[in-house]
Amino acid sequence: MVEILTSLFLVIGGAFALIGSIGLVRLPDLFMRLHGPTKATTVGVGGILIASMFHFSSRGQGLSLHELLVTLFLFTTAPVSAYLIARTALHLKGKDVNRRG
Amino acid sequence: MLSASVIFAFGCIAVALLLNFWRLVFGPEPADRILALDTMYINTIALLVLFGIHINLAVFFEAALLIALMGFVGTVALCKYLLRGDLIE
Amino acid sequence: MRRWLPQPLLSLCLWLVWLLLANTVAFGHLLLGGLLALGLPLLTVRFRPELPRIRHAFKLLRYLMVLLFDIIAANLVVARLILGPAYQLHPAFIRLPLDLSNEFAIVMLTHAISLTPGTVSADLSSDRRTLLIHVLDVEDEAGLIARIKHRYEQPLKEIFEC
């Protein structure tokens, strides 16, 4: 039962991480590309970490919850990175416009 | 079944890393490259955790946590550098 | 009480993070984590800006539940948009007028926006009254703003009473 859950989360996590990176390559504009990694990849890694949590908890050496820490950390930092990257892009674009004008 | 899904996830993450690398090399703007690096470190965390499941050993967790911390600091530092032209003001 | 435990919630979080990091509930780690959770806020309380008091813990819990549900839904939506034909997308920048006055509440709102359906918060105006949002596929701009205001901003306003 635990093995099925672990496998399910692994497959979902891997698929979402891949979709996020496909978005990174495929979408035509930087601000659109921001959407893929900040959402799909974060949840993809989250899925794999949850799978790891199930796997190591089922080995009989007590509950293993420390993967939650990485998940929480990623979920709090991903929006900050996205915000900073968007600001950087806006800033660089503004500079270019000023130079041309 | 578990080993099959681990292999599947390995494949997904490997392709994802290659795609990120493509964006890192060809990204037209500096912000694109930062975004690619950011995604790459997140995918690397997934790769490490997967490897931990694969060989049934939980010692890679600390490495994953460190990559998460350092990757975030790296992204912030790069963005700050491009935003202000200086790191330490 | 206030003098020795300036931020009870922060202390609790630090204690839990320590236990998660050590991945055990052994007595030694309970004690060491407790000492750190008491000591660190005392050492750093003077560096921190004034944090808002959380008025309704239950509403915060419900808000986090709504957010988690939205994140999962958002991922399915974004995955479909990424894999679908790209020329059908209508990306746009939207200006969201903010009603929140507290900085911490604004941070919570920008986080919520960045984590949910096809929206990324991109810039906050220097007077903190408008937030620039990038939307991956916009159909109804006014509807989206109303949705964000109703779903995230209103609960945050009630939780922090600002």
The model's pLDDT over A12-68, given as tens digits with 9 standing for 90+, comes to 899 988 988 888 888 888 888 888 777 777 888 888 988 888 888 887 667 777 888
Task: Give the CA distances from residue A95 to residues A26, A83, C77, in Å, rounded to whole numbers and listed in that order.
Answer: 26, 18, 34
Do the chains contact at A92 and B31, CB–CB below 8 Å?
yes
Test B50 with A89 for CB contact under 8 angstroms: no
Q: Where are the domains of chain C?
A: 8-44, 57-160
Q: Give contacts of C111 with chain A, Cβ < 8 Å.
A: 76, 79
Nearest CB to C71 within list A29, A43, A62: A43
- Choose, out of B1, B15, B19, B70, the residue to mutate when testing the contact with A (most A CBs < 10 Å): B19
The reply to whether B20 falls in a domain is yes
pLDDT score of B72: 92
Sign of the Cα torsion C161, C5, C46, C22 reads: negative
Contacts of B34 (CB under 8 A, 6+ apart): A85, A88, B75, B78, B79, B82
B30/A24 CB distance under 8 A: no
Average pLDDT score, chain C: 80
| Structural domain includes residue B52 | yes
Domain that holds residue B18: 2-84
In chain A, whose CA is at the least distance from the CA of B69? A73
* List of chain C residues whose C-beta atoms are within 8 Å of the C-beta of residue A42: 115
The ranges assigned to domains in chain A are: 2-100
The domain tally of chain B equals 1
How much is the CA Rg of chain C, to the nearest whole Å? 20
Query: Does the interface ipTM go beyond 0.95?
Result: no
- Are A51 and B53 in contact (CB < 8 Å)? yes
Tell me the pTM: 0.84
CB contact, 8 Å: A84 with chain C? Answer: no
A74 touches B: beta carbon within 8 Å = yes
Mean pLDDT in residue range C117-142: 80
- CA A53, distance to chain mean position in Å, is 17
Helix/strand/coil for A27: coil
Higher pLDDT, B40 or C26: B40
pLDDT at residue C154 is higher than 90: no
C96 strand-pairing partners: C131
Percent of chain C having pLDDT more than 70?
A: 90
Residue B89 falls inside a structural domain = no
**CA distance to partner chain A, nearest, from residue C162 (Å):** 23
Residue ranges of alpha helices (H) inside C23-56 are 27-44
A23, A79, A90: residue with CB nearest C111: A79
**CB spacing of C82 vs A36 below 8 angstroms:** yes
Length in residues, chain B: 89
* Interface contact B29, partner A, CB < 8 A: yes
